[in-house]
Amino acid sequence: MIKGLRRPAASNLLAGLLIAGAMTAPAGPARAQPAGDFDYYVLALSWSPTWCANEVAAGDPPEQCAPERKLGFTLHGLWPQYADGGWPEYCDTHARDPSRGQSAAMSDIMGSRGLAWYQWKKHGRCSGLAADDYYGLSRRAFERISLPEIGGEMLANVIEFDFIAQNPWLQPDDLIVTCADGKLREVRICLSRDLEPQACARDVQEDGCRGDRPLTIPPIP
């Protein structure tokens, strides 16, 4: 593990989030790092209607937000993480970048080819895997999760409970719910490099919203 390349200070993180937008991954180290040097993954599941509500309001909804897609939870990404906090990104790798077709094939669970490509570039290169293997691992991780039915207004800890009820192999420390402006944003699940459940590191847990906070869940179009 590379020491010293860790999560930025809280003030810098806040600034990064404001710039990146509500549905992006947290800002991380900007330096390129070697591929394969990490401890575990975070599987990030975005609630697509929350993200799309912002995009539609901006007047330029992308393909993910087309009404006929009817997307609920989508795969935001499978992110390498360090056990003692922080994460690598934009790593050096000898792996060839995915073809347009390989990225497009992920749009059924990720919403768009563009997001799949971006997630490979920022996070997948850090996995140490070939692009096709990283996409395959991401799909297996996503498809392993049984997604509960949610809607209306729910407490954050009730959403967590429903995920655990549907996936009894998970423990409370293995996942968090994130929110923005009182709305459900993501559910993030911590997995080993072999996709086994594990407790999230403290920095991941700190991204979660308060368990007793009621969250609005925008409906699927």
**What letter would DSSP give residue 145?**
S
The distance from CA 113 to its chain's CA centroid, rounded to whole angstroms, is 16
Q: Which domains does the chain have, with CATH numbers?
A: 10-217 (3.90.730.10)
By three-state DSSP, how is residue 61 classified?
Answer: coil
Q: What is the pLDDT of residue 65?
A: 87
First to last CA, the chain: 44
Where does the pLDDT of residue 63 fall: very low under 50, low under 70, confident under 90, or very high at 90 and above?
A: confident
**What letter would DSSP give residue 60?**
-
Judged against a pLDDT cut of 50, whether residue 36 lies above it is answered with yes
Query: Hey, CA dihedral for 215, 84, 191, 72, is it positive or negative?
Result: positive
pLDDT by residue (tens digit) across 70-120? 999 999 999 999 999 999 999 999 999 999 999 999 999 999 999 999 999
Query: Hey, CA dihedral for 50, 143, 113, 35, is it positive or negative?
Result: positive
pLDDT by residue (tens digit) across 127-139? 999 999 999 999 9
Rounded CA separation 132/111 (Å): 18
